[in-house]
Amino acid sequence: MSHYVGIDIGASRAKLVVIDGRAEVVGKTVRSSGVDYLATAERCLAEALESAGLSRGDIARTVSTGYGRDNVPWTQATMTEIACHAKGAFHHFRRPMTVVDIGAQDSKVIHLDAAGRRIGFKMNRKCAAGTGAFLEEIAHRLDVPVGDLNGLAERSTKEVTLGSFCTVFTATEILERIRAGEKVEDIAKGAFRSVVKRIVEMDAPQGALVLTGGVVAHNPILARLMGEVFGQDPLVPPDPQFAGALGAALFALETAGR
């Protein structure tokens, strides 16, 4: 059986998925993107193939997506992140939906109809607010690992609103909150609230609300806060961080032989 690869090289992490001819995932890996995207892609492919018990000769087609999609010369095609995240999300939830993908450097809101066709999208490219980079800056200011933010926020007992739109101004606002005696866990929750607020300002969901991306994968509180704001329980696919890579692999499968 032939196999198909999708690789999503983001600004922070590179994700790779291997699927078989039935669109079943047989291997996957994630690594820091680093500064040499090609070398990272090579390591991702080697790891995923090893875990799947495959060799390069078993791969019929590869599609790349993400920030560094043009830096992998051995792929046969490239696709936009919008198309691949939509494809990966619809693979799991076949219904009209709005996909919200929160990445390291940007956020996307993608509307799909009942057939999975894209009927609209918006992206946040003007500022890091509402992205993983924003949360990393917040963690830096709070002097905690970014991976601890979710646990801190879950222990919050008080709402602390961060009003600044700009990441730089928010960092200054946090210093003022610390000086005022606010607890770290309450500020952490306020940071997640700020991310949700940025998404709300981008667009309203149509149909089911589906969340993808590494930020959602590592911070489950975002799904709960999104649900509170939009009045529905969000759907989170298995391995939401791999949604874009899965979508790319599905495009590789669909376009093989054309």
Q: How confident is the model at residue 126 (pLDDT cuts 50, 70, 90)?
A: low
Overall average pLDDT of the 240-245 stretch: 96
pLDDT tens, position by position, 140-156: 888 899 999 999 999 99
Q: Residue 208 pLDDT > 90, yes or no? A: yes
Q: How confident is the model at residue 70 (pLDDT cuts 50, 70, 90)?
A: very high
Domains of the chain: 3-83+242-255 (3.30.420.40), 96-236 (3.30.420.40)
Q: How confident is the model at residue 125 (pLDDT cuts 50, 70, 90)?
A: low
Overall average pLDDT of the 101-120 stretch: 93
Q: Residue 6 pLDDT > 90, yes or no? A: yes
Distance CA 168, CA 85 (A): 29
Q: Residue 257 pLDDT > 80, yes or no? A: no
Query: How much is the pTM?
Result: 0.91
Overall average pLDDT of the 90-115 stretch: 94
Residue pair 86/94 in contact by the 8 Å Cβ criterion: no
Distance CA 170, CA 164 (A): 5
Q: Kindly give, in sequence order, each residue whose CB lies less than 8 Å from that of residue 20, ignoring residues fewer than 6 positions away.
A: 1, 2, 3, 4, 26
* Run of H or E residues at 63: strand 59-65
Q: How confident is the model at residue 127 (pLDDT cuts 50, 70, 90)?
A: low
Give, in order, the Cα–Cα distances in Å from 109 to each of 32, 59, 87, 112: 24, 32, 14, 10
Among 73-87, 122-136, 187-201, which is the least confidently predicted range? 122-136
Q: What pLDDT score does 164 carry?
A: 59
Overall average pLDDT of the 88-94 stretch: 97
Q: What SS3 state is found at 68?
A: coil
Q: What pLDDT score does 206 carry?
A: 92
Q: Residue 45 pLDDT > 70, yes or no? A: yes
Question: What's the N-to-C CA distance of the chain in angstroms?
Answer: 18
Distance CA 86, CA 90 (A): 6
Got the DSSP string for 115-161?
TS-EEEEEEE-S-STTSHHHHHHHHHHHTS-GGGHHHHHHT--S---
Q: In what order do the strands lie in the sheet with 25-32?
A: 25-32, 13-20, 3-9, 59-65, 77-78
> What DSSP designation does 105 have?
S
Q: What pLDDT score does 2 carry?
A: 93
The owner of tokens 């991306």 is 213
Six token digits for residue 71: 């830096």
What percent of the chain lies above the pLDDT cut of 70? Answer: 95
pLDDT tens, position by position, 191-204: 999 889 888 888 88
Q: Residue 23 pLDDT > 80, yes or no? A: yes
Question: Among residues 225, 218, 160, which one has the least CA distance to residue 188?
Answer: 160
Overall average pLDDT of the 120-125 stretch: 84
Q: What pLDDT score does 201 carry?
A: 86
